[in-house]
Every structure is written in C-alpha cells, then in structure tokens.
Amino acid sequence: MLIVSDMTEQKQQKQESRNKLTTELTDEIKTILKDQDIEMLEPIDNGSTSIVFKGLLTIDGGQVVDVAIKFVNLDKQSDKVRNKYIPQEISLVERLKHKHIIRTYKVVKHKNKYVFIVSELADGDLIKVLEKGELLDEKLVREWFRQIVKAVEYIHRKGVAHRDLKADNILIVKNTMKLCDFGYARQSRNDDGSVKMVRTLCGTIEYASPESLSRLQPFDPMVSDCFSLGVVLYTMLTLNFPFGSGDCVRSKEGRSELLANIKAQQWSLPDNYKDNNNICSLLKQLLNPDPSGRIRSCQILSHPWFSTIPSTNHLQQTNGSQ
C-alpha cells in the first residue's frame, strides 16, 4: 500500500490524541518552563505517550533558539512507561551525541509528574517527504540513507538498540537526516560486550523484523534494527511498504500473513530498479528473514551501492514541514 494513502488514519488518530493532550497544559506547566527559560508554543506532533510542541529556549548569552519540546505527563502513563521507558529515554538522549542524531538541549523533570525533553527544531521529517507521493532521486536516497545508517551505526557501537526505526523518527534539519525518538531504545550490551537479548515487539509493525514478530526465542535488537533499516530504504525508493501495511497487518491473522510474507521474501522492486543489482543486493541483505545472515549496521556502508557518493548539488530541498 502506498505510504501516502496509509497515513490518513494515523493522522486522524494523532489529531484526536493531540486534542486530548493539549487540554492538559496548565499555568503550572507554563511557569515550570518559564523558570527554565523555555516558552511553549503550538503543538506540532504527538505519539502514544507524549505530545511535541514548538517552543523557544533562551541559552547562554541570551540567544533565543527555536526548539521542539516533548511533553510527557507521567500521571497518564502506565507503570512500565513511567518506570522503564521514560527513564531509559532520558538517559540515552543525554549521552548520545552525533551529527545525525537530533540534539537535546536539556531535560526538565518536575516532581516526578512532568518530563520535558527540549531538542533542536527540525524542518520536517522523512515521512512527510514520502507522503508527498513523489519518487526521490536515487542519488538523494543514497545520501540520506547513508546519514541514517551513520546514526544507527553510532548507537550500535554504543551498545544501544533503537527498536523503533521508521520514517516518522527520522527528522530533517537543513537537509541533514537526524534520528530521533528514543522512547523504546535500550542499552543492549552487557559490561562484558555480550548482547542483551530481548523478546519484546516494539515500534510500528510495518517496520518489524520477523524475529520480533514471531517472538519464538530471544533475539538481538540491534540486528532487528537492521531489518527496520531495510524497510526504511525500501519505502524511500518506492513509496511503498515491502510486505504489507495498515489495519490489515494489525489483526492476528494479518500479522501471521505479514510474517509469512517476510519469511518468503515476498517483496519486489518497481521496473526502474529491477535491474539495479546493487540496490537489490543491499535490500536482500537488510531484509534477510534469517537474522544470523542479515547484514550488520557496521557493514552497510561498505556495500557497493555506497561506492559513489553524490555531490551536494544532488541534495535538493525536498524537506517536509512540521
């Protein structure tokens, strides 16, 4: 299904959630932020546990910068989100520093009730670019995907799995791709370097790896991330999901069919890419249903598809708008 068509219902659900969350903003919250030199403006996005506002932050020297403020009301969260996922996210955004990860200016916590994560404001995100329904030039896809992979390779080197890689969580700042939203991310290596295996399915089902869908045995979440990268690349090239999307994959039967399609490698490229051996090769390695044979993040940029890096002249201004 085309991404531009599949996002309609999700947009409606987000707007309904945003309307409910917006009513929670009080004078108390505005005062808390004012004391931190932050002014909250209009809402620009939201997820299942938070709402993101545009805002202004006064930094050292009196300079005022545009920011995005992720607002979480802890009283509205489940025990698992409040006690596990939110603390994990705060810990990670405060220590992960990379040119292709969205910059976090500060984290404000108030009385174990509110959390505000203040980060740089993006020009848009990848999903809004894809929703336009216009195919991207391969050179542009290659450069943008290279930047995305660099961010993922960096967090994997740090032993962190993102677990929710998708076009919605890839922001665009001055035509540079930046990974965001570490709400489901976790430290995935032990002190001795061994992997902390998981059983939990996180994130959006269209991007989920087969091992996370089946959950028959513990799996490496960083290797699972690489499958999600394959879905991201496929959507950038085709504006479609490779194995299915929408409500039809969210039922028990639909999820089983999705998993069967992944295991059977039931994906294909449009005519303009069918003879592109490098793209086919990379997608086969990323979308490999067998995690033991799947390409790792540290190997992706060595693939022949990246041997020709486009000049900046190819990086056209195709940003979405928040």
Q: At 103, which CATH number?
A: 3.30.200.20
Q: Which two tokens stand for residue 249?
A: 């994959």
The H or E element spanning position 12 is: helix 3-22
Does 246 fall in a domain? yes
Q: For each of the chain's 322 residues, which pLDDT tens digit applies?
A: 566 555 555 555 555 554 555 546 788 888 999 999 999 999 998 877 889 999 999 998 889 999 999 999 998 899 999 999 999 999 999 999 999 999 999 999 998 889 999 999 999 999 999 999 999 999 999 999 999 999 999 999 999 999 999 999 999 999 999 999 999 999 999 999 999 999 999 999 999 999 999 988 999 999 999 999 999 999 999 999 999 999 989 999 999 999 999 999 999 999 999 999 999 999 999 999 999 999 999 999 999 999 965 544 444 444 444 3
- pTM over cut 0.85: yes
pLDDT of residue 61: 83
pLDDT of residue 319: 46
CA-nearest of 215, 248, 213 to 228 is 213
Using the 3D structure, point to which of 69, 102, 120 is the last residue of a domain.
120
Q: Are residues 66 and 167 in the same domain?
A: no
Q: Are residues 51 and 114 in the same domain?
A: yes
Report d(CA 52, CA 42) in Å as an integer: 9
Q: Are residues 108 and 186 in the same domain?
A: no
Report d(CA 128, CA 133) in Å as an integer: 9
CA-nearest of 19, 53, 321, 8 to 172 is 321
Which residues fall within 8 angstroms of residue 24, CB to CB, at 6 or more apart? 73, 76
Q: Are residues 205 and 287 in the same domain?
A: yes
The burial of 259, by beta-carbon neighbours within 10 Å (0-12 exposed, 13-18 middle, 19 or more buried), is given as: buried
Domain harbouring 298, CATH code:
1.10.510.10
Does 304 fall in a domain? yes
Active site residue 164: yes
Report d(CA 17, CA 52) in Å as an integer: 12
pLDDT of residue 10: 56
Neighbours of 123 (CB within 10 A): 16
Terminal Cα-to-Cα distance of the chain (whole angstroms): 24
pLDDT of residue 22: 53
Catalytic residue among 37, 60, 79, 164: 164
Q: Are residues 205 and 96 in the same domain?
A: no
Q: Are residues 196 and 69 in the same domain?
A: no
Does 3 fall in a domain? no
Q: Are residues 196 and 129 in the same domain?
A: yes
b/e 190-224 (16+ beta carbons within 10 angstroms → b): eeeeebeebeebbbbbbbbbbbbbbeeeebbbbbb
Does 131 fall in a domain? yes
Listed in sequence order, the DSSP H helices in 23-125 are: 27-35, 79-80, 86-95
Q: Are residues 79 and 205 in the same domain?
A: no
Residue 288's identity, in one-letter code, is: N
Q: What range does the domain containing 25 cover?
A: 21-120
Q: Are residues 177 and 304 in the same domain?
A: yes
Does 11 fall in a domain? no
pLDDT of residue 163: 97
Does 1 fall in a domain? no
Listed in sequence order, the DSSP H helices in 123-276 are: 126-131, 138-157, 210-214, 221-238, 252-263, 271-274
Q: Are residues 88 and 212 in the same domain?
A: no
- For the chain, the domain total comes to 2
pLDDT of residue 5: 53
Sign of torsion over alpha carbons 38, 39, 45, 48: positive
Q: Are residues 152 and 56 in the same domain?
A: no
